[in-house]
Amino acid sequence: MKIIDGKLISAAVKERVAKSVEQLKEQGVTVGLAVIIVGEDPASKVYVKNKKKACEALGIISEEYALPENTTQKELLDLIHELNNKKSINGILCQLPLPHHLDEKIIINSISPQKDVDAFHPYNVGRIMIGDYDFVPCTPAGIMEMLAYENIEVEGKRCVVIGRSNIVGKPMGMLLLHKNGTVTVCHSKTKDLKDICLQADILVAAVGRPKFVTQDMVREGAVVIDVGIHRTPNGLCGDVDFENVSKKVSVITPVPGGVGPMTIAMLMQNTLTAAKRQNNIDG
């Protein structure tokens, strides 16, 4: 059984991005990311801090806009409009979840598709659907990077994704499909979930429930990717019962140190891609 080291793979991605950022600087092109956070959500603050740290390490200019909880929708939209037109900013990320009085859909739709490094804008979602895209949501992108790094072939494999969120489940299914996997996306209304999971060569758990995937749900020798992260009295755990499932599978990601580090690495990759596209640079 092999444990995929997300820290190692994310470091390789970041090194690749840092080299490209340096090459762009030599051509007089800087790479800039603006991160907007509204309110005082503790988890969001940690994510924003980590994103800022990653930018600094890779030579990407990072601008943080920390807005108070009572920011109006107009104020937030005005800021996004300003950043859409700011040449030194290539990527805009609005940290979710937003306070309840703000309409997430309207906010996401107001970010320029060319600067939408989270790939949540309907334009970018549509491009993922047809397989002609510049950006992919960072978590599914990170999982595909992990599979490629570990030489895990997707073509012809039975792939099961548990969860159908717009951020992970749906795009994950599409990316596996683009790599010629045979994909089943499961959710809370799925019947015979266990039987479906037992057919999976590659199982992606993005259900948001601690230790939801148990040993009797995975087949011998499967590849299991755990997207979840939960704080419990016994420390962090994922959507997979790692201790028991790991005894049965060929490859598994741990929590922490698996998919998590990949998400920020792929955000850096998306920001670099945005800078290249906006400056008509290939590659």
51 classed as catalytic: yes
Give pLDDT tens digits for 38-73. 999 888 999 899 999 999 999 999 999 999 999 999
pTM for this prediction: 0.95
Instruction: Flag residues of the chain having pLDDT under 70.
Output: none
Give pLDDT tens digits for 165-178. 999 999 999 999 99
Q: What's the pLDDT score for residue 148?
A: 98
Q: Please give the mean pLDDT across all residues of the chain.
A: 97
- Which among 114, 115, 116, 118 is annotated as catalytic? 118
- Which among 14, 95, 201, 226 is annotated as catalytic? 95
Q: What's the pLDDT score for residue 115?
A: 98
* Domains, the chain, with CATH or none: 30-112 (3.40.50.10860), 138-260 (3.40.50.720)
27 classed as catalytic: no
215 classed as catalytic: no
- Which among 14, 51, 115, 157 is annotated as catalytic? 51
Q: What's the pLDDT score for residue 282?
A: 85
Give a three-class secondary structure readout of the chain: CEECCHHHHHHHHHHHHHHHHHHHHHCCCCCEEEEEEECCCHHHHHHHHHHHHHHHHHCCEEEEEEECCCCCHHHHHHHHHHHHCCCCCCEEEECCCCCCCCCHHHHHHHCCHHHECCCCCHHHHHHHHHCCCCCCCHHHHHHHHHHHHCCCCCCCCEEEEECCCCCCHHHHHHHHHHCCCEEEEECCCCCCHHHHHCCCCEEEECCCCCCCECHHHCCCCCEEEECCCEEECCEEECCECHHHHCCCCCEECCCCCCHHHHHHHHHHHHHHHHHHHHCCCCC
